[in-house]
Structure 1
């Protein structure tokens, strides 16, 4: 099948007064993408089938299969009848990680959790970030209005997430889009990995809620600050604090939510 980001389909628009009109809308593609590592089927992600080399490389990093671009010997995308297959060849140095991780998986999903037999694998310890965010919150307010201009697929479909790498001052450096928020961030991380880019004191801006999986991806990629348009979960906040990741959530043109430097559990409720 062809690998397209979107395809147009006919619809009927019905107004509040019952008026009807035929229209055509672009729909974002959502396709099975199989990730193979060293000949082993590792995961199947439901993803927008563009920037798949970026997706696979970022996924390998945030799954902790590799430490950097040097551990990825080769990566290829192959179209298949039902979707796409991305084949990664990992360096012998990290091959043992692959086998160990596969033993903890019985099914696959974009979040990398479903099917893990050993519950401890779901919340593996995160490294402490070496880089700390020392920028100003004004950078987030600067990046937010510019983000729309870097989302061509969402402009067509209004159905995909975006992940942006921003400078310390809030200029947008790079953006990737996908129907899944995890995939969009993995694509961004993979694109930076393949291009030899690091965060350089900047931050990531995501058009999604702040889940703990996104916190972990940020930490594992060395990102010092994560900003999201929607709210965080409790686990996301706790994991971020434990790893030294700065969080800015519920980002709006006039306000944002800044995570404190500690968690006050005195008000915890069921």
Structure 2
């Protein structure tokens, strides 16, 4: 499987310089640092505004593709006929052209979500409106612990914006050996995962033998997005929430969290046995 080469540095538009005053440092003077850019991103379907998300202004075609899938607006990427990204003085407008039948269905269920900040369920008015994966997670081969260790060991090299600003999340698709295949970064953890899902869909990459790795906690929304995408395993660097564990168990998703290079915790499902265990 072809793996992405990590970019040498992020585009200049994703970070800006700032001169804050340092407190308690050996050198108390001001010094320039790089700060991640956060941009209001208005997602519009046809002529109908749907949501304003606070996002990093990169890979926005990937973002709205993944967002459209995990929001239930489309069932597959082919229902998106075109995407237009228009930078404005106050932010970015991303207009999505849906297939006619899908657009009619979207209008029928449209809800006002203006002001969302990369949260997967902000704006939902009742518990019954929570977006839920419609089916169990896809059955895939168990992931070896060594694969998660390998992915964690190389992930930072694929995070140029994270290295520069220390202010963004990343989501990665990793192959069954832990090789980093695709990575997306964003100021929002949900946005990063949507960007990754959209990138995979737009590239026509249907292989689900591998796992998702995210540099955030494993929340309800992250589990739902992983299951809707069809991943069998979600690994998170931080801890999970109670509802994330409950939903992962219900969906049959392997949920790995508190993932470090020296170990991890399997909350639901199972990883592949170590070779020594197989021998015994």
| TM-score, normalising length: structure 1 | 0.90
Structure 1 position 10 matched with structure 2 position 44: no
Partner SS, residue 240 of structure 2: coil
1:133, CA displacement in angstroms? 4.0
Give the C-alpha shift of residue 171 in structure 1.
Answer: 0.2
Paired residues of 2:51 and 2:114 also in contact (CA < 8 A): no
For the residues of structure 2 that align with 1:72 and 1:29, how far apart are their CA atoms?
27
Return the alpha-carbon distance in structure 1 between the equivalents of residues 140 and 163 of structure 2: 33
Shift of 1:125: 5.2
Could you tell me which residue of structure 2 aligns to residue 211 of structure 1? 219
Instruction: Give CA deviations for 1:174-209 in whole Å, capped at 9, x if unaligned.
Output: 100000000000010111111111343100100000
Aligned ranges 1:104-143 → 2 under 5 Å: 105=113, 108-124=116-132, 126-143=134-151
- Tell me how far apart the structure 1 counterparts of residues 24 and 140 of structure 2 sit (CA, whole Å): 51
> In the alignment, what sits opposite 1:148?
156
Of 74, 77, 88, the match for 2:85: 77
The one-character-per-residue Cα deviations of 1:120-149 (angstroms, maximum 9, x if unpaired) are: 111535311233342212110110010000
Q: Secondary structure, in 3 states, of the residue corresponding to 2:21?
A: strand
User: What CA deviation, in whole Å up to 9, does each residue of 1:72-123 have, x standing for no partner?
Assistant: 0010100111100100011123224312331475764422422223321115
Quickly say closer, same or farther: Cα 1:205–1:112, change in 2 above 3 A.
closer
Unpaired segments of 5 or more residues in structure 2?
A: 1-11, 271-280
Most deviating of 245-254 and 105-114: 105-114
Q: 1:254 aligned to 2:262? A: yes
Matches of 1:178 and 1:222 in 2, distance apart? 22
Q: What's the counterpart of residue 6 of structure 2?
A: none
Structure 1: which 5+ residue stretches go unaligned? 263-270
With over 3 angstroms needed to count, the CA separation of the structure-2 counterparts of 1:232 and 1:100, relative to structure 1, is: farther
Is the Cα contact below 8 Å between 2:256 and 2:268 reproduced in 1? Answer: no
1:199–1:223 contact (8 Å) kept in structure 2: no
Give the whole-Å Cα distance in 1 for the aligned partners of 2:116 and 2:105.
Answer: 17
Taking the aligned partners of 2:23 and 2:176, their CA distance within structure 1 comes to 45
Per-residue deviation, residues 8-43 of structure 1 (Å, max 9, x unmatched)? 111233335x64233110100111000001211111
CA gap 1:235/1:46 in 2 versus in 1, 3 angstroms: same
Q: How far apart are the structure 2 equivalents of 1:114 and 1:59?
A: 14
The CA RMSD measured in Å over matched residues stands at 2.0
